[in-house]
Structure 1
Amino acid sequence: MNNPKVSVIIPVYNTEQYVQQTVESIVQQTLQDIEIIIINDGSTDNSLAMINLLAKKDQRINVYSQANQGLSVTRNNGIKRAKGEFIYFMDSDDLLESDTLKICYQKCIAEQLDFVFFDAESFYDDHIPLREYQYQRNLNIEDKIWNGIELLKIQDDTWNYRSSACLSFVKLSFIQQHQIQFYPNILHEDELYTALLYLEASRINYIKRTFFKRRVRHNSIVTSKFSMKNIQGYFTIANELNLYSHQHPKDASLIHSHVARMLNAAVRNSCHIPFKERLKITRLCLSKYKKYITYKTIGILLFKSFISFQVLERMSKKINSSI
């Protein structure tokens, strides 16, 4: 297919139980002028055989296979292959409302947008709740064309920022012009990719609909136990955004605030990993990321399992009043 309206990129790694349902939710989109790029990232289960069968039924599906390289590299390879005017990233175990691509495409064309974003809701595999995952924003903002800086600030200020790449529908030429890609070999790569979308965009808008359905299941990246690899990913993202702020000093204040929110949440999530690793994180926070991390966060990282939240509040106030 030459020059489809949308390229949908679906990385696949060991999701044989879910990938057919995911691909069908894309095949059944009311916008039919699309290409579906499925990249098998070295699956060791029956995923490749399943997507090859799906490709035989629909000529819009193109299947590629590679040795396992991780989600970032796989998505970047999808960008290189994309021919669509717009691009959408879909995860291989989730679902998409059937009118999503059509509504997003029409809005982007009508308003000449760099990208449009929307909301999601989670559902549980086998109806077994694991924990609560909040993907909805419910932003009460005017339906108009915004620049990315404005909407990033609004979302940060209202605690409504959501980083998933699956919640943005983006013009391919915009990504190419600003050379926005996924940082390889880290977890939480969406945090950097999506932040850069907002920092570079001059024309964006929001559709207040829960188009995306996130499957919450055991043994997925989302539900895996927080580890040192997670926090290393966040530190890498902080480094990259800090570098970006030096290159764009007018946006430095917003970037600093955004990184501080992200890092404090990530460091607090590290409070249950082994104590030796928590000490290592503490040293990094106090030496390299001191301008982002609060003393309250350090207290939670080191002592949450031993003392109450109220004690941490008092400790934080006492430390802050003495510096």
Structure 2
Amino acid sequence: MQPKVSIVIPCYNVERYVRECMQSVVSQTLQDIEIICINDGSTDSTGAILREFARQDSRINLIEQQNGGYGVAVNRGIAQARGEYIGIVESDDFINPTMYEKLYTKARQTNAELVKCNFFVYDSHSLEKNHTYNPKYQDLNLAPNYAFNPREEFKQIFFFHASVWANLYESTFIKSVKFFESTKVYQDLPFAMEILAKADKMAIIKEPLYHYRLEINQGNSTQFITPDRLMQMLEMTKEALSVLMRYGILEEVKEYFFAHAMSPNYSFYYKTSSKIWKTFANEMREILAHYTNPQWTYFEPKIKKWTQAIMQGKVPKQSFKQYRRKVFRLRVRDGGIYLKLGNFEYKKAFATKHQKHTK
């Protein structure tokens, strides 16, 4: 019998988090689900934890494979999914108990190919561990309350965080779109652009139901931002651009797309070696040639300045202020102290009056 929802969970070396993730999935109020876990060649105890869950729950289909990367794992899971609808959960995140019941109900009510919910940003190292993601211009509360065509009725969604894991997809619809398998970063950008370009009907649940673990996903540590990863990000930006051109909608959504794409490129650029900057700038300039008559509406000032420099044929350099912030930062705010010195980071929350009195 066909399950209502298949949930694809790609897993690689997430022994610290996968148990919490799996518990949140098997505890869904929507019981008629299929859980497809892909152990993508983990070298820690991730596989053992997944096998433990699979023994206890017959809804779990555990696939063990050699490491192929995120795109390979997700594509394999989607290909084997049998559900009416398909969702993706990243194995270092977790979800609310009612997430898939609410997404499935909305999908059936609206006959939408794509349903998106809001999400929480979870950072166990932060004083504010779990807060709703709603930065300026990316607030799902701005979206229509009815099922809509994203290309025609809410183009601003092309600027939003890709958050492909906060979605529920109609099975036939998602099986026609593939994640790129050749890179290890930013595969979600071209995938998200094609999903939005392809969908005729999309619905929104404005309630946050997914918990996105920031400390794993943000890639703050410079040791992980290699020149190769920066160039892979550029490659995925180029692929996303080609998707929008193929669907003939680049001109309509370019303000949203370029603001979306340039932000992470900017972040990676200053976290990697300056030796690659000239090559990156030259290739990025070819991409930005498609950003004609820019309005810059959705750009942060610093990213706008950086992007303009590339468009003018320059190779942006790191300012002294940026270098100083990279090496040393001391902040006291939100009831705590933050200290960064080189690769060393220290965060300490101040005790409140109530905490002091109850010790």
SS of 1:120's partner is strand
- Identify if the C-alpha distance between structure 1 residues 295 and 139 changes in structure 2 by more than 3 Å, giving closer, same or farther: same
Is the 8 Å Cα contact of residues 145 and 204 (structure 2) preserved in structure 1? Answer: yes
Specify the alignment match of 1:197 in structure 2. 195
SS of equivalent to 1:92: coil
Paired with 2:286 and 2:7, the residues of 1 have a C-alpha distance of: 42
Helix, strand or coil at the partner of 1:155: helix
Q: Which moved more, 1:132-141 or 1:192-201?
A: 132-141
- 1:247 pairs with 2:246: yes
Provide TM-score, normalisation by structure 2: 0.76
User: CA distance change for structure 1 residues 143 and 61 in 2, over 3 Å: closer, same or farther?
Assistant: same
CA drift at 1:114: 0.3
> So what's the TM-score if we normalise by structure 1?
0.83
Say yes or no: does 1:282 pair with 2:281. Answer: yes
Cα offset, 1:240, TM superposition? 2.3
Specify every segment of 5 or more residues in structure 2 that has no aligned partner in the other structure, as ranges.
295-303, 323-359
1:140 matched residue in structure 2:
142
- Return the match for 1:182 from 179, 184, 191: 179
Give the alignment of 1:42-191 within 5 angstroms: 42-125=41-124, 127-128=125-126, 135-136=133-134, 137-150=139-152, 153-156=155-158, 161-176=160-175, 179-186=176-183, 187-191=185-189
Q: Match of 1:116, SS? A: strand
Tell me whether 229-238 or 33-42 shows the greater mean CA deviation: 229-238
| Contact 2:164/2:192, CA 8 A, preserved across alignment | yes
Say whether 1:305 aligns with 2:319: yes
Q: How does 1:186-265 map to 2 (within 5 A)?
A: 186=183, 187-217=185-215, 222-225=219-222, 226-249=225-248, 251-265=249-263
- Describe the shift of the 1:247–1:39 C-alpha distance in structure 2 as closer, same or farther (beyond 3 A): same
Counterpart of 2:79 in 1: which secondary structure? helix
Q: Confirm or deny: 8 A CA contact 1:7 1:82 kept in the other structure.
A: yes
Q: How many pairs are equivalent?
A: 299
CA contact (8 A) 2:9 2:91 kept: yes
**Post-superposition offset of 1:77:** 0.2
Contiguous gaps of at least 5 residues in structure 1: 309-323
CA distance in 1, matches of 2:17, 2:245: 43
2: distance between equivalents of 1:253 and 1:131?
A: 39
- In structure 2, relative to structure 1, the CA distance for the partners of 1:281 and 1:274 (3 Å cut) is same
Question: What code does the residue aligned with 1:61 have?
Answer: I
| % identical equivalent positions | 25
**CA distance in structure 2 between the partners assigned to 1:233 and 1:129 by the alignment:** 33
Deviation at 1:267, TM superposition (A): 3.5
Deviation, 1:8, is 0.4
After superposition, the C-alpha distances for 1:70-121 in whole angstroms (9 at most, x for unaligned) are 0011000001110000001001111101011001101100110101101111
Give RMSD over aligned pairs.
2.7
Aligned to 2:177, what secondary structure does the other structure show? coil
Q: Secondary structure at the match of 1:117?
A: strand
1:191-229, Cα deviation, whole Å (9 max, x unpaired): 1111111100111111111100112335x5644534433
How far off is 1:133 after superposition? 9.2
Q: Which residue identity is paired with 1:303? A: K
Letter aligned with residue 297 of structure 1: T
Measure the CA separation in 2 of the matches of 1:192 and 1:272.
Answer: 23
